[in-house]
Amino acid sequence: MRVNGTLINYYFHCKRQCWLHGNRINLEDNSEEVKIGKAIHEVKSQNSTNSEISIENIKIDKLTKDYLVEVKKSDADVEAAKWQLLLYLKILKEKGIERTGKLEFVEKNKSKNKTLIVNLTEDNSRELDIIISKIELLLEELEVPDIINEPKCKKCAYYEYCYI
Ligand code: SF4
């Protein structure tokens, strides 16, 4: 499987999650968290004319004159979201489209959304290439990585797979 935004996100969230998804063991459809995420994307796309654009193996939430916008349901894993967005910025740049990245965190019970601006630089672009290589190596491993046993497991789509 070619490294896409979901795999990058999972790599930072949990190596086991990344391996499971990359090896096509998918349980996302059963997850309440994923359903909430999809619902947010649907509401956002109804309010926008530039939403959900597919380029190669990535899906972009919104592309405006200045920004590539990625919408997240919480800011629980900013690092994962940031690298996912950097991958999208890099793929767009390779297509001749240069934008500033914007992460929008749409949180329940909060009147104001938090946003984070992300720029693709030479340094983080090089780092991204290294991360992609590491993910490719991880996915080739024969053994699934160990369970991480962290609080975030309770919100993970693979919770039942890992613990029950
Ligand atoms: S439940 Fe925990 S260990 Fe299992 S894939 Fe999810 S985050 Fe990783």
| pLDDT one-digit tens code per residue, 83-105 | 999 999 999 999 899 999 999 99
Does the pLDDT at position 26 exceed 90?
A: no
High-pLDDT (> 90) share of the chain, %: 62
Ligand 1 and 160: CB distance under 6 A: no
| Average pLDDT estimate for 29-37 | 58
Tell how far the Cα of 116 is from the centroid of ligand 1, in angstroms: 26
Ligand 1 and 148: CB distance under 6 A: yes
Ligand 1 and 67: CB distance under 6 A: no
What is the DSSP track for 22-85? HTT---GGG-HHHHHHHHHHHHHHHT-SSEEEEETTEEEEEE-SSEEEEEES-STTHHHHHHHH
| pLDDT one-digit tens code per residue, 104-113 | 998 766 667 7
Tell how far the Cα of 110 is from the centroid of ligand 1, in angstroms: 27
- Cβ(17)–Cβ(10) below 8 Å: yes
- The residue whose CA is least distant from atom 3 of ligand 1 is 147
Ligand 1 and 156: CB distance under 6 A: yes
| pLDDT one-digit tens code per residue, 144-161 | 999 999 999 998 989 999
- Ligand 1 nearest atom to the CA of residue 159, by list position: 1
- The residue whose CA is least distant from atom 2 of ligand 1 is 153
Does the pLDDT at position 137 exceed 80?
A: yes
pLDDT at 73: 84
pLDDT at 100: 97
Ligand 1 and 16: CB distance under 6 A: yes
Q: How far apart are CA 155 and CA 65, in angstroms?
A: 35
Per the model's pLDDT, the better-predicted residue between 51 and 99 turns out to be 99
